[in-house]
Chain A
Amino acid sequence: MIVFGSKIYAGLCEVSIGMRKSVTIKVDNVTKIYNGNVTALDKVSLEVYSGEIFTLLGPNGAGKTTLIKILTGELKPTQGEVLILGTSHKEFLKSDMRFRVSYVPQENIFWGNLTVEENLDFIGSMYRLTKRELKEKIRFLLEEFDLVDVRKRLASKLSGGMKRKLTIAMSLMNDPEILILDEPTAGLDPRTRASLIASLEKLREFGKTIFLTTHIVESAERISDRVAIINKGRIVAVDTIDNLKRKHCGEEVVEILYKQLTQEALETIKAIVKEERIATAGDKVIITQQHSNVIEELLKLKSRTKDILAVILRKSTLEDTFLFITGETLRGGEGAV
């Protein structure tokens, strides 16, 4: 039994890196089949711990949004069980427990003809906050999300980044323990994305559990405590980013960029690297770098052929990890392992 806030939850303990953490979301063997024949989720299982930022990483169409819709009660799983804050999904959706979770979908959700402040006031009122609570929450969120200067501006007149921030701020009006965000950084420019990530990191500091989906590697790498990689409706890996990289592609990879990658060129590379793992993405060949002599061999190969544009030794990324796990790229391009 562990104490979480003022509530007591039983049987949801998890030991991780020597710390006791409570499981806030538990997805157990969940399958979702649309129209009887389209499998969007296939026996998905995962656990999200309190106070962490958990990222579900996968390409478009992998099943991320379906899983979120199941968590928020918009969809019913065909099979499997979901526990949220220790409560069965059915009970959770029926009870006031559901107000301890907030959901931010891919779209910006607000009333365009209301001001920023009015939007926050409206949604806060829908949670039956008192006048004082409303006032305090609005002031706090305006400050945290840098919306103070635009608080009197109609929401429809905000920039893309501001709109996203407003949507997230609105979802925090009920002070949820769990925040579920679907592609929060999609469509944002790098600067706004960085600012938004900083805001989410702050929320983690306040003890919020954040479950987010993304297909943007940079966002996932920057923010996540743990990542689940989902592809074609299946969870193919769950771990911290460092563990995932270490396990699947090492800390460094060699990237060979061809003008046009041919089967013959690939066979040549395979002959050189032997024990290393190879993946391809378009005209790129990516090799896990376990042995130091491989790079020297590859550089010699480059000097012999004009087809190779570059041979680069670089830090591995989540994108590489995804490629080595799934044989596909996150952006939907063809790949192979």
Chain B
Amino acid sequence: MLFKIVKYKFLSVIRSKEFYIYIIGIPLVFMIIYGAMSSYAYSSVEPMKIGFINNDTPLSYSIGNSTYNAYFGNDFYTYMSALTYENSSVKIFDIVNISSKEQAEKMAVRLEIAGAVYIPENFSESLLNFSKAMTYNILMSMLGAKANEAYEKGDYDLGSRYSQAMGNLSSFANVSYRLRICFIGDPTSSNAMTSYEYLWKAMINFAYQQVDSFLKEYSNYLSDTYNITINLNSTNLSTDVSNMFSIDFEVIGGRAGAVKETFIQMYFSVLVPGQLVQSIILGSITVVILVGYDIEHKILTRLKLTRVTAPEYISGTLVAWSFIALFQSGILLAIAFALGYVRVIGTIAHIVIAVIALAMAGILTAAISLIIVSFVSEKVATHLVMIIFVPLSLFIAGYFPIPNPTICSFMGTTITVLDLLPWRAAVIALRKSLMLPNIYSAAEATPEVLMLVLWTILYSAISFVAFSKARLKRRE
């Protein structure tokens, strides 16, 4: 009998329009709306603590007879440390040195840092080559124009000296470079995203400074060597520089060498668990509508005439909703995969933890919905659920940063206001098992799953008592 209740409740729900509107459609709409809004959410003027991993190798290079030492990774650290907010003396970054990416990821997960800048081994060499390439591009066309101008005026000597300078530059013609640095962080953190934006600006300015410096040095060298005049018109330099390097945003838990992504993609790659749970929470509307349908259309009255008992009916309903939660999560996960938001797959144990978390979240939602519909009429319950659960789902999904005051510490664990929302445990368990399986083992997600199970048992027990008495009691 239980199997039939589960089977037909499941079929009944997934064939209903409400299901697709409320628990698939709405999360997708919010995804778009809040994704767009998220880009404008950063307005802090406090120093952001970030990590700095410098794997750069210093080098020396010569221009003519002069020798220069370059350690651009170190220079960039100094440059970033000195940056201040516009029209303010407040520094943008509070930088701490970190030894490895793994350490950076763990610190970012624990919110000890907003994120970390990773400078690769060949950073100085790449930036030097980048400077050479830029110098070649800028000076070659300029010298060529000057040489032509001199030849046209009949000043063959001057033309020849410009041509020799061009010959000198030709050694930069085939210089290759791959100027990439990386930022490791959690895109749901506004500090991480703000840091990333400032990092872009800092990198552009820093690279501009290096290229400009090298260009000037080399121009002076050519001027002195070939007795020519070079008027640098570097007004287009910054534009050129910004288009020729990249800063990868490596999402914590993301695969190594993550490709460059848009802000919205990054933002949602970690929000997927939140969206799944939001979708499940919004399922409460469908629960109430369908229970309301059963009440209004006297299906419950009809069932009371059969042999089904209240515990059987409620268990069947709750178990059915666990499958419905998995079904809807499957759909949303498929979309998330298609959009590239989910890129890491953990072990079987991770997947089992995720499945348990999703199923529990479904049961929890159905149980709380049944409790509500036990105490108020089905119509009031629908409005009540919308008023309570729609905003609640947004908080839990983490579409925007929200205050989360600490309530207390218990056995070394900090308990916050958000921890009191039972679905929060599901979000954290899913983040660990679905999104960060390369940081957390499945066992590390177990405490949240256990917490979720406890919440689910508590609310299920209340729903059993409340719904049985209010809606399924047989008159004797």
**A residues adjacent to B (C-beta < 8 A):** 72-76, 90, 93-94, 96, 98-99, 101-103, 105, 107-114, 118, 121-123, 125-128, 154, 174
Whether B11 is near chain A, meaning CB under 8 Å from some CB there, is yes
Chain B 378-417, CB-CB to A under 8 Å as 1, else 0, gives: 0000000000000000000000000000000000000000
The reply to whether A73 and B474 contact each other, CB–CB distance below 8 Å, is yes
Chain B 91-121, CB-CB to A under 8 Å as 1, else 0, gives: 0000000000000000000000000000000
Mark the stretch among B78-86, B146-154, B303-311 that contacts chain A.
Answer: B303-311
A99 to B302, CA, bound (A): 12
Instruction: Write the nearest CB–CB distance from B206 to chain A, whole angstroms.
Output: 61
Mark the stretch among B67-75, B293-301, B333-341, B364-372 that contacts chain A.
Answer: B293-301
Instruction: Write the nearest CB–CB distance from A69 to chain B, whole angstroms.
Output: 9
Number of A-B pairs whose CB atoms are under 8 Å? 69
**Option from A90, A98, A114, A128 in Cβ contact (under 8 Å) with B11:** A114
Q: What total of chain B residues lie within 8 Å of the partner, measured CB to CB? A: 23
Could you say which residues of chain A place their CB within 8 Å of the CB of B224? none
A37 to B307, CA, bound (A): 35
**Option from B12, B298, B303 in Cβ contact (under 8 Å) with A113:** B12
The reply to whether B306 and A73 contact each other, CB–CB distance below 8 Å, is no
Could you say which residues of chain A place their CB within 8 Å of the CB of B298? 105, 107, 109
The reply to whether B475 and A126 contact each other, CB–CB distance below 8 Å, is no
Residue of A nearest to B3 (CB): A125
The reply to whether A127 and B475 contact each other, CB–CB distance below 8 Å, is no
New contact pairs (19) apart from A126-B4, A154-B15, CB-CB < 8 Å: A72-B305, A73-B475, A74-B301, A93-B474, A93-B475, A103-B305, A105-B301, A107-B298, A109-B297, A111-B12, A111-B299, A113-B11, A113-B13, A114-B8, A114-B11, A114-B15, A122-B8, A125-B4, A125-B5
Could you say which residues of chain B place their CB within 8 Å of the CB of A123? 302, 306
Whether B29 is near chain A, meaning CB under 8 Å from some CB there, is no
Could you say which residues of chain A place their CB within 8 Å of the CB of B11? 113-114, 118
The reply to whether B306 and A174 contact each other, CB–CB distance below 8 Å, is yes
Residue of B nearest to A102 (CB): B305
Could you say which residues of chain A place their CB within 8 Å of the CB of B302? 103, 105, 109, 123
A-B contact pairs, 11 of them (CB 8 A): A73-B474, A74-B301, A74-B475, A93-B474, A96-B307, A99-B307, A102-B305, A103-B302, A103-B305, A118-B11, A127-B306
Could you say which residues of chain A place their CB within 8 Å of the CB of B13? 113
A112 to B15, CA, bound (A): 10
Could you say which residues of chain B place their CB within 8 Å of the CB of A75? 475
A107 to B298, CA, bound (A): 8
Instruction: Write the nearest CB–CB distance from B40 to chain A, whole angstroms.
Output: 42
**Option from A94, A113, A126 in Cβ contact (under 8 Å) with B306:** A126
The reply to whether B303 and A126 contact each other, CB–CB distance below 8 Å, is yes
Residue of A nearest to B11 (CB): A114
- Across the A-B interface, give the 4 residue pairs with the lowest CB-CB distance, nearest first: A126-B306, A125-B4, A113-B15, A113-B12
Instruction: Write the nearest CB–CB distance from B255 to chain A, whole angstroms.
Output: 41
Contacts A93-B475, A126-B1, A127-B306 given; indicate if A113 touches B16 (C-beta within 8 A). yes
Q: Which residues of chain B in 284-299 are interfacial with respect to chain A, using CB atoms and an 8 Å cutoff?
A: 293, 297-299
The reply to whether A126 and B297 contact each other, CB–CB distance below 8 Å, is no
A113 to B18, CA, bound (A): 12
Contacts A76-B475, A93-B474, A113-B16 given; indicate if A126 touches B307 (C-beta within 8 A). yes
Instruction: Write the nearest CB–CB distance from B297 to chain A, whole angstroms.
Output: 6
Instruction: Write the nearest CB–CB distance from B468 to chain A, whole angstroms.
Output: 16
Could you say which residues of chain B place their CB within 8 Å of the CB of A105? 298, 301-302
Could you say which residues of chain B place their CB within 8 Å of the CB of A121? 4, 8
Chain B 307-346, CB-CB to A under 8 Å as 1, else 0, gives: 1100000000000000000000000000000000000000
Q: Which residues of chain B in 2-24 are interfacial with respect to chain A, using CB atoms and an 8 Å cutoff?
A: 4-5, 8, 11-13, 15-16
Q: Which residues of chain B in 177-208 are interfacial with respect to chain A, using CB atoms and an 8 Å cutoff?
A: none
The reply to whether B15 and A118 contact each other, CB–CB distance below 8 Å, is no
**Option from B15, B307, B476 in Cβ contact (under 8 Å) with A128:** B307
